[in-house]
């Protein structure tokens, strides 16, 4: 590095007079977070909810939602601004709905029959690693959940989304100041954000919560700090023989196309029952899909993957831009998304992987058993534990998926992206972070929510003795197997 470059890097690396030593910088941020928590420690539930609402308004406010959506696309080069506006507002609104309905201060539950009273306490300073796919929505989502528990949060953004996340944090801090709450409840790592500073934050905070890079998830679990990491998606959905095909196709299109397929909950494969295969393909085409020819499939393969890795120059791009990059002519540039027929799963069949692009892999299954097996194969290759969808009028088929597959969520007759991370017609709580359980090396198998940011004290008082007899507990066993 030249001397001018070294000087510039050194200047950029100073934070309040500190040389850019990642541990020193992080230590200063954590100390400020702890001081903010001390100042907020006696906040009532009403005051906490006011602060959570302030954070929500920082992003939900229309001019902020629009400006940050545009900034995110300019920053990262992925997704599209109109859908990011929807995401910024919808996820924030839904999360605020969930949080304002919950207790998180003082006594949050009383169980007189068990003699238990539960008290909520903060977990401490949260280190939150956020992805480039949602550089505004995810930081606000996590900050709302953290502050709901009277914690402080320090956000480690993806370097690609740094400018957007930094601006988002500035807006959150301004809203906290407006209501007289400590601004240092929400902070962000200063530039340059790199592995060293992110790892230093993981080591110094009280809880790490990671969304995005699976390398960061693994580093969080290795950090020695309690950690919650979420897994990669690669959602397969089944179009059952009983499905209402045009409705299913419309849901899949809306979900797949949203924000140019940046969501981990975006459909990546669709498994169609043989009985309705042609009709389902026709429905998907009516919904805006373009069925790629064998030659077009190879053109897409050669463009979407470079040296075995997704090509960042074409992922999450508008359909016409993607078609042009792949050299697709004819009616393809007018399509909303692209259908690619496939027969295999695994490393030699990259279309069975997560694509982060407007490409939907299509499999044909002779019957439902075969469709279930195919979905299991896809998840075993990538996305185990994340989620599955089905379009069907047979509830028993949906139940079989829930009973037989290693997955945390099964969505029935839903646009997957709009239901998986919480929806107004879905009972799943709003979040931007989906736990995948031990199936994918995660510590949770549910949607990340405010409860993960609470410590619980259990007050136990005596109750009438609940001690059954030996006969009641062992009798059936003794009768069958002897003593």
Catalytic positions, written as ranges: 264
Q: How far apart are CA 216 and CA 127, in angstroms?
A: 12
> How many residues belong to the chain?
483
Distance from C-alpha of 126 to C-alpha of 136, rounded to nearest angstrom = 17
> Helix/strand/coil (H, E, C) string of the chain?
CCHHHHHHHHHHCCECCECCCHHHHHHHHHHHHHHHHHHHCCCCHHHHHHHHHHHHHHHHCHHHHHHHHHHHHHHHCCCCHHHHHHHHHHHHHHHHHHHHCCCCCEEEEEEHHHCEEEEEEECCEEEEECCCCCCCHHHHHHHHHHHHCCCEEEEECCHHHHHHHHHHHHHHHHHHHHCCCCHHHEEECCCCCCHHHHHHHHHHCCEEEECCCHHHHHHHHHCCCCEEECCCCCEEEEECCCCCHHHHHHHHHHHHHHHHHCCCCCEEEEEEEHHHHHHHHHHHHHCCEEECCHHHHHHHHHHHEECCEECCCCCCCCHHHHHHHHCCCCCHHHCCEEEEECCCCECCEHHHCCCCCCEEEEEEECCHHHHHHHHHHHHHHCCCECCEEEECCCHHHHHHHHHHCCECCEEECCCHHHHHCCECCECCCCCCCECCCHHHCCCCCCECCHHHHEEEEEEECCCCCCCCCHHHHHHHHHHHHCC
CA dihedral 288, 289, 291, 297 (to 10 degrees): 130
């Amino acid at each position: 590095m030249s001397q001018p470059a070294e000087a510039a890097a050194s200047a950029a690396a100073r934070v309040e007079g500190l040389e850019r030593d990642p541990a020193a910088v992080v230590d200063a941020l954590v100390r400020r977070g702890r001081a903010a928590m001390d100042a907020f420690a006696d906040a009532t539930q009403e005051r906490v909810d006011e602060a959570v609402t302030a954070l929500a308004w920082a992003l939900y406010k229309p001019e902020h939602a629009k400006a940050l959506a545009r900034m995110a696309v300019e920053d990262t080069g992925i997704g599209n601004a109109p859908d990011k506006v929807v995401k910024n507002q919808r996820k924030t609104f839904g999360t605020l709905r969930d949080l304002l309905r919950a207790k998180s201060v003082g006594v949050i539950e009383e169980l007189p029959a068990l003699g238990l009273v539960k008290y909520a306490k903060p977990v401490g300073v949260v280190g939150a690693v956020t992805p480039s796919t949602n550089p505004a929505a995810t930081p606000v989502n996590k900050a709302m959940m953290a502050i709901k528990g009277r914690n402080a949060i320090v956000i480690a953004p993806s370097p690609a989304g740094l400018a957007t996340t930094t601006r988002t944090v500035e807006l959150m801090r301004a809203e906290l100041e407006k209501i007289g709450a400590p601004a240092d409840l929400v902070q962000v790592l200063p530039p340059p954000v790199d592995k060293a500073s992110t790892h230093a934050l993981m080591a110094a905070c009280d809880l790490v919560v990671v969304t995005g890079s699976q390398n960061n998830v693994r580093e969080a679990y290795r950090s020695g700090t309690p950690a919650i990491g979420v897994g990669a998606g690669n959602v397969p959905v089944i179009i059952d023989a009983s499905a209402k095909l045009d409705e299913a196709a419309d849901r899949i299109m809306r979900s797949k196309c949203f924000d140019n397929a940046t969501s981990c909950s975006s459909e990546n494969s669709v498994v169609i029952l043989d009985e309705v295969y042609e009709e389902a393909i026709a429905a998907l085409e009516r919904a805006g899909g373009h069925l790629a020819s064998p030659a077009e499939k190879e053109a897409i393969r050669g463009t979407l993957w470079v040296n075995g890795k997704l090509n960042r120059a074409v992922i999450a791009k508008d359909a016409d831009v993607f078609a042009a990059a792949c050299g697709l002519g004819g009616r393809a540039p007018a399509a909303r998304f692209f259908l690619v027929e496939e027969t295999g799963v695994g490393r030699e069949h990259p279309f069975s992987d997560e694509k982060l692009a407007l490409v939907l892999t299509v499999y044909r299954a002779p019957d439902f058993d075969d469709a279930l097996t195919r979905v299991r194969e896809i998840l075993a290759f990538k996305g185990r534990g994340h989620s599955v969808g089905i379009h069907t009028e047979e509830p028993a088929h949906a139940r079989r998926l829930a009973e037989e597959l290693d997955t945390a969520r099964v969505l029935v007759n839903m646009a997957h992206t709009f239901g998986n991370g919480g929806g107004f017609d879905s009972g799943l709580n709003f979040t931007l972070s989906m736990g995948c359980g031990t199936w994918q090396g995660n510590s949770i198998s549910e949607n990340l929510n405010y409860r993960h940011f609470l410590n619980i004290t259990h007050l136990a008082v005596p109750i009438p003795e609940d001690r059954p007899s030996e006969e009641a507990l062992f009798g059936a066993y003794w009768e069958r197997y002897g003593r």
